[in-house]
């Protein structure tokens, strides 16, 4: 029942690599909607990588040609744009998947930048793993004022693995301790296809949220390991402040509740235990703050987590949305 391997936090990189004769081709997949400036900042950092065999595929859902114009100005044949009529990040990934040429899929957001050794180090870590994994890569926030601004981040302190049901006997563990975020996932394409891709009812541009958490949860239930790596890290430029930061917290809570409810409705009773574990962890934080007469830090998140669970009752449980749904 242990899910985070504490021993491997310090010794995870000593595993002997699997024998390979050639490096696998990689498809870097980016879903984007109407953010050409972000794409223009992101693409050159990817193309500066020294990995010998990779492509960059943009699943572009923008209404205009601005993203296509950015790619044309860069003029690198390794970059392809797939113009998609569907909306939503999860749909973009799923619709682009059959068009990818790589055996490895590296998924990042359009508002990150990557180091020049990113792909080489990430693929090396993937090849060292004897079992199917999702690499939950580090997402380091751009420098910002933490008192006024929020940037989504995932910064593991060390290498660790999560296996099996993410329940911890004797202690409460919230989702962000075992799941990664979708701004930096790397895995074998065959494993992503086996999982059925993303849940298209979840994610930005969809009715619900937290498609990345859902993918991590379903991967664990399917026997994959979540490998959290502090390096290589991507830099996340997506700052939010004021009301936008509050909306971000509400969205994450809403999505978390929806993920648990959708998996519960598919017959996975562990999802109910996971929901309760997350809820109790947050209620304990709220109670502690009220006792100290402080502003409860998890109150908004917790309220929206319950609302998200209820909202998920409205939608079909299938991973795919009908082509005409909005």
Calculated CA dihedral for residues 58, 20, 9, 105, nearest 10 degrees? 10
Paired sense of beta strands 79-83 and 104-108, if any? unpaired
Q: What is the pLDDT of residues 19-54, one digit of tens each?
A: 444 899 999 999 999 999 999 999 999 999 999 999
CA 102 from chain centre, in angstroms, equals: 19
CA separation for the pair 83, 59 (Å, rounded):
6
CA 136 from chain centre, in angstroms, equals: 7
Q: What is the pLDDT of residues 260-291, one digit of tens each?
A: 999 999 999 999 988 998 888 889 889 988 88
DSSP states of 56-101: EEEEE--SSSHHHHHHHHH--TTEEEEE-SS-SHHHHHHHHGGG--
pLDDT tens for the chain, 326 residues: list them. 233 343 333 333 333 344 444 899 999 999 999 999 999 999 999 999 999 999 999 999 999 999 999 999 999 999 999 999 999 999 999 999 999 999 999 999 999 999 999 999 999 999 999 999 999 999 999 888 887 888 889 999 999 999 987 776 556 567 777 899 999 999 999 999 999 999 999 999 999 989 999 999 999 999 999 999 999 999 999 878 777 767 777 888 999 999 999 999 999 999 998 899 888 888 988 998 888 888 877 788 899 999 999 999 999 999 999 876 65
Q: Which of 132, 138, 85, 86 is nearest to 108 (CA)?
A: 138
Residue 249 buriedness (CB in 10 A; 0-12 / 13-18 / 19+): middle
CA separation for the pair 229, 232 (Å, rounded):
7
Q: Which residues contact 222 (CB under 8 A, 6 or more apart)?
A: 194, 195
The neighbour count for residue 218, using CB atoms within 10 Å, is: 20
- Say whether 259 sits in a helix, a strand or coil: helix
């Amino acid at each position: 029942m242990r899910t985070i391997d504490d021993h491997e936090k310090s010794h995870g990189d000593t595993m002997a690599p699997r024998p390979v004769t050639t490096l696998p081709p990689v498809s870097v997949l980016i879903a984007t909607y109407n953010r050409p400036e972000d794409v223009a900042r992101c693409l050159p950092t990817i193309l500066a990588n020294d990995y010998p065999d990779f492509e960059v595929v943009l699943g572009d859902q923008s209404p205009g040609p601005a993203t296509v114009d950015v790619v044309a100005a860069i003029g690198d044949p390794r970059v392809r744009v797939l113009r998609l009529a569907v909306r939503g990040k999860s749909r973009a990934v799923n619709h682009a998947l059959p068009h990818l040429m790589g055996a490895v899929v590296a998924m990042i957001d359009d508002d990150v930048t990557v180091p020049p050794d990113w792909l080489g180090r990430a693929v090396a870590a993937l090849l060292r793993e004897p079992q199917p994994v999702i690499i939950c890569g580090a997402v380091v926030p751009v420098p910002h004022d933490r008192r006024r601004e929020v940037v989504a981040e995932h910064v593991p302190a060390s290498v660790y693995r999560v296996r099996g049901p993410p329940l911890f006997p004797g202690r409460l563990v919230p989702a962000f301790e075992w799941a990664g975020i979708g701004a930096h996932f790397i895995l074998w394409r065959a494993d992503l296809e086996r999982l059925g891709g993303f849940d298209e009812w979840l994610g930005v541009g969809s009715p619900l949220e937290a498609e990345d958490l859902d993918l991590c949860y379903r991967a664990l239930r399917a026997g994959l390991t979540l490998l959290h790596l502090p390096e290589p890290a991507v830099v996340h430029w997506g700052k939010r402040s004021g009301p936008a930061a509050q909306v971000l917290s509400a969205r994450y809570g809403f999505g978390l509740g929806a993920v648990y409810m959708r998996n519960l409705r598919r017959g996975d009773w562990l999802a109910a235990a996971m929901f309760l574990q997350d809820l109790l962890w947050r209620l304990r934080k709220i109670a502690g703050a009220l006792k100290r007469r402080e502003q409860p830090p998890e109150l908004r998140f917790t309220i929206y987590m319950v609302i998200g669970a209820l909202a998920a009752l409205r939608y079909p449980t299938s991973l795919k949305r009908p082509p005409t749904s909005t």
